[in-house]
Amino acid sequence: MAYYSWILTFHVMAFMSWMAMLFYLPRLFVYHVEHSHKSEFVEVVKIQEYKVYKYIGLPAFWATLLSGAAMLIVNPILFETGEWLYAKLVVVAIMTAYSFSLEYFRVQLENDECKRSGKFFRAYNEVPTLLSILIVAYVVVKTFSLLFTAIIIGFFAFVIYMIFQQPEHKE
């Protein structure tokens, strides 16, 4: 237990770095798609997308995952603290799938094969915000509330709906 606080500190810092990638990379995808007619611009964005994912996102993901596992190993009593931990782990699994989906889209964009719109990526960019709110709430409050979860998901469904109602970006 002497190292638990240090592991937790590292975990929070790694999570923040992972979230930075999850917030920023879809925004780069928006710029990429909406300015696809500017080849020099797109080439710079492709480099940024690669570096954000490979040099920030992927290492931060693994650091978050490994430090989270270390916290559970060092302090297994966490498994007995209620359903909030299990809810958090489910959301982390969804966030992990989302994170890997960004690499899928990055490769498609790099190869000029992506057919998604800027509007799609604007909406997709809302997903990590939703997931991070759920994770932070579960951890801080140390409980799982179905009502809170439903309200947050409903709110973000409305936000995404509104994004799709906006006219397509024209330059």
Summarize the annotated binding site for heme as residue ranges.
11, 88
The position carrying tokens 């240090």 is: 6
Distance of CA 130 to the CA centre of its chain: 9
What is the rounded distance in angstroms from the CA atom of residue 170 to the CA atom of residue 61?
35
Residue 114 DSSP one-character state: -
Distance of CA 2 to the CA centre of its chain: 30
Q: Which residues participate in the annotated binding site?
A: 11, 88
Q: Are 131 and 156 in contact (CB under 8 A)?
A: no
What is the rounded distance in angstroms from the CA atom of residue 17 to the CA atom of residue 31?
21
The position carrying tokens 């309200």 is: 151
Residue 155 DSSP one-character state: H
